[in-house]
Amino acid sequence: MLSSKRSPRKSDMFRSRFLDAAHEAAPLRAARRLREYLAGEVIHAVVQIGFLVALVFFGRALLHLFEKHGAQLNPWYLRVSLVAVGTCVLLIGRRLVVRLIDIRDTRRDLAEAQRQLSELRDANRGVRPERRE
């Protein structure tokens, strides 16, 4: 293993954490990856909820605007604009529901990865890595 990216010398003092990628570190990496993915999904869900709230406020402001200043206008203007806002709310709401289902599934996967990690810790408890001299 190279001591650094630029070093031509090999060092046996430091073990690579990627050498045994298939069995020992896989549950830890999976749990960390799932935790990071879950955090991103929660942030996206919060942003979508904020966007839904903003669309509802926009719809209410649009309704208030037509009540105050649109009495002489064709009533279809109000209907079409409210249908457009309602369609946006439904589309964003559907995406939010799908994201919440994905968050639930990710939490289930994270719990499974944590369980595998705790089993691996329990199996290796008391076993110390060998020292190289």
The per-residue pLDDT for range 73-109, each reduced to its tens digit, is 888 998 999 999 999 999 999 999 999 999 999 999 9
**Amino acid 123: pLDDT:** 81
Residue 57 is assigned to a structural domain of this protein:
yes
**Amino acid 1: pLDDT:** 47
Residue 91 is assigned to a structural domain of this protein:
yes
Residue 113 is assigned to a structural domain of this protein:
yes
Residue 6 is assigned to a structural domain of this protein:
no
Residue 81 is assigned to a structural domain of this protein:
yes
Residue type at 128 in one-letter notation: R
Q: How many domains does the chain have?
A: 1
Helix (H) / strand (E) containing 118: helix 75-124
More confident residue, 117 or 36: 36
Structural domain span for residue 93: 27-123
The rounded mean pLDDT for the chain is 83
Give the three-state DSSP class for 10: strand
Residue 65 is assigned to a structural domain of this protein:
yes
Phi, psi of 10 (to 5 degrees): -100, 145
**Amino acid 109: pLDDT:** 92
Count of all residues that appear for the chain in the document: 133
Mean pLDDT confidence for 9-28:
60
Residue 129 is assigned to a structural domain of this protein:
no
More confident residue, 105 or 118: 105
Give the three-state DSSP class for 26: helix
Residue type at 62 in one-letter notation: L
